[in-house]
Structure 1
Amino acid sequence: MPTFEDALSADRFSTYRLWAAQDHALARRLYTFNVQLSAALYGPLHMLEVALRNVADRRLIATRGVDWMDDPAVLVTPYQQSCVTKSREQLKRDRKAGTHGQMVAELNFGFWSSLFGRQSTHLWGNDLRPIFQTGKLQRHSIASQLSDFRGLRNRVAHYEPILALPLAQRYADIVTLTGWLSPSAVAWINDTSTWPTIYPGIPILVVDPTTGVTSVAPSVLPHLPA
């Protein structure tokens, strides 16, 4: 009969076994905890992405016009332009009209993050800086955070390990950035998020300074699912 490890594949489970020093039961608890934390992050990441794309789109319509997606003075990189082309083609395959609203939803997080990248500095000042309701702020700080969020989102979406990431900082940054975009959006996160009840607020993994080996922090064991 196939085992739990067979169902996951030895490669997928190997990371957890290493962290658990080959203790199968502990590795399974870590895997379960990884899934629970990933599920708790799904809602906040969802709201951040949706708020970002809608707020950015409204601002670009106001400053560049409703056809900003087709303006080469706005989207200056081949990546951005290809994202628009691929999204239109996908909507066409899905037999959708390809309205502006459908395009906003179809374009991926990588596209929206790219609007704050180094090659799009022309969009920062008058176009996109005003969407963040906060004081002093630099474009590269937003770009760096969005890169971190994108990596986290992709790991969550593809069922990859996230336990080694600085999760407390990532969650705090998600809440902060969403709040800058929309007080209503961050209020939704605060009202609905299960993160505070699941994340123990202490390190999950620790690295031995001598050997460099990563293992489970003893203090987190009581917080892991049975």
Structure 2
Amino acid sequence: MPTLIAALSAERFDTYLNWTGGDQALAERLYTYNVQLSAALYGPLHMQEIALRNMADGALIKRYGPTWFDDPAVLTIPYQTGCIAKARQTLQQAGKAVTRSQIIAELNFGFWSSLFGRQAHHLWQTLRPIFQAKGVQRGTIAQELREARLLRNRVAHYEPIVALPLAQRYASITTLTGWLSPSAAAWIANYSTWPVLYPAVPILVPDPASGRLTVAPAVVPFLPN
């Protein structure tokens, strides 16, 4: 019978073996835990993206009209206009109606994050009011969204996340979502399984002798058997 290592590939599993000092059973538990944590982050990341999309869209409609995404004064960089063109193409190829609402739904997190980048600074005065927080800066929002997008991509591609500062990432997701919509943040608080799964301490810590990252002893009881 094929082993789990064979199913995952030795290269992928080696990452976990390195963190467990070659203990295969513990590595399998850590791998499973990584999958569980990734699943637990999906809902909060989803809610953050949906809230960002709809709040940003609403603000841009108010300032530039319902077809703001076709206004060259709004989208000024090739990546953004490329996203719009790709969304239209995807809808056409799928035989779907190329409507405003369908285009908005088709745009990815990278597009919405780009609206807060340095090259889109001209949009900040329009988008700043969607965040219900005092003194928030464009650069702060851009950085938070960049980190969320990187985490989302790792989750989507089944990559390890246990080495990341997950407590900080989760706090950032919930905080930013709360700035966008207290109701969306309340949904996360009510339905997220993250607080049950995560031990609130780093999962991997440096080994005192070698400096190599290894599973923290305090985390072991949280790993699935």
State the TM-score, normalizing by the size of structure 2.
0.98
Shift of residue 212 of structure 1? Answer: 3.0
Give the aligned partner of residue 174 of structure 1. Answer: 173
**Number of aligned positions between the proteins:** 225
Q: How do residues 134-149 of structure 1 correspond to structure 2 at under 5 angstroms? A: 134-149=133-148
Give the aligned partner of residue 62 of structure 2. Answer: 62
Give the aligned partner of residue 98 of structure 1. Answer: 98
Partner of 1:17: helix, strand, or coil? Answer: helix
Deviation by residue 1:102-124 (Cα, 9 ceiling, x = unmatched): 11110010000000001000000
Give the aligned partner of residue 31 of structure 2. Answer: 31
Shift of residue 65 of structure 1? Answer: 1.0
Partner of 2:218: helix, strand, or coil? Answer: helix
Shift of residue 207 of structure 1? Answer: 1.7
Q: Which amino acid counterpart does residue 151 of structure 2 have in structure 1? A: L
Give the aligned partner of residue 113 of structure 1. Answer: 113
Shift of residue 218 of structure 1? Answer: 1.1
Give the aligned partner of residue 198 of structure 1. Answer: 197
Deviation by residue 1:10-47 (Cα, 9 ceiling, x = unmatched): 11111101101111000000000000100100000000
Give the aligned partner of residue 41 of structure 1. Answer: 41
Q: Which amino acid counterpart does residue 148 of structure 1 have in structure 2? A: E
Alpha-carbon distance between aligned partners in 1 of 2:10 and 2:143, rounded to the nearest angstrom: 33
Give the aligned partner of residue 156 of structure 1. Answer: 155
Give the aligned partner of residue 219 of structure 2. Answer: 220
Alpha-carbon distance between aligned partners in 1 of 2:164 and 2:151, rounded to the nearest angstrom: 8
Q: Which amino acid counterpart does residue 151 of structure 1 have in structure 2? A: L
State the TM-score, normalizing by the size of structure 1.
0.97
Give the aligned partner of residue 129 of structure 2. Answer: 130
Deviation by residue 1:83-119 (Cα, 9 ceiling, x = unmatched): 0000100000111111111111100100000000010
Deviation by residue 1:128-184 (Cα, 9 ceiling, x = unmatched): 000001100110000000000000001111110000001001101111100110111
Alpha-carbon distance between aligned partners in 1 of 2:78 and 2:211, rounded to the nearest angstrom: 41
The 4+ residue runs of structure 1 with deviation greater than 4 A are: none
Distance 1:99 1:17, change over 3 A: same
Give the aligned partner of residue 165 of structure 1. Answer: 164
Q: Which consecutive residues of structure 2, in runs of 5 or more, have no partner in the other structure?
A: none
Give the aligned partner of residue 83 of structure 2. Answer: 83
Alpha-carbon distance between aligned partners in 1 of 2:51 and 2:102, rounded to the nearest angstrom: 15
Alpha-carbon distance between aligned partners in 2 of 1:184 and 1:203, rounded to the nearest angstrom: 29
Alignment of 1:208 onto 2:207: yes
Alpha-carbon distance between aligned partners in 2 of 1:45 and 1:174, rounded to the nearest angstrom: 7
Q: Which consecutive residues of structure 1, in runs of 5 or more, have no partner in the other structure?
A: none
Alpha-carbon distance between aligned partners in 2 of 1:144 and 1:4, rounded to the nearest angstrom: 37
Deviation by residue 1:162-219 (Cα, 9 ceiling, x = unmatched): 0000100110111110011011111111111011111011111002366331111111
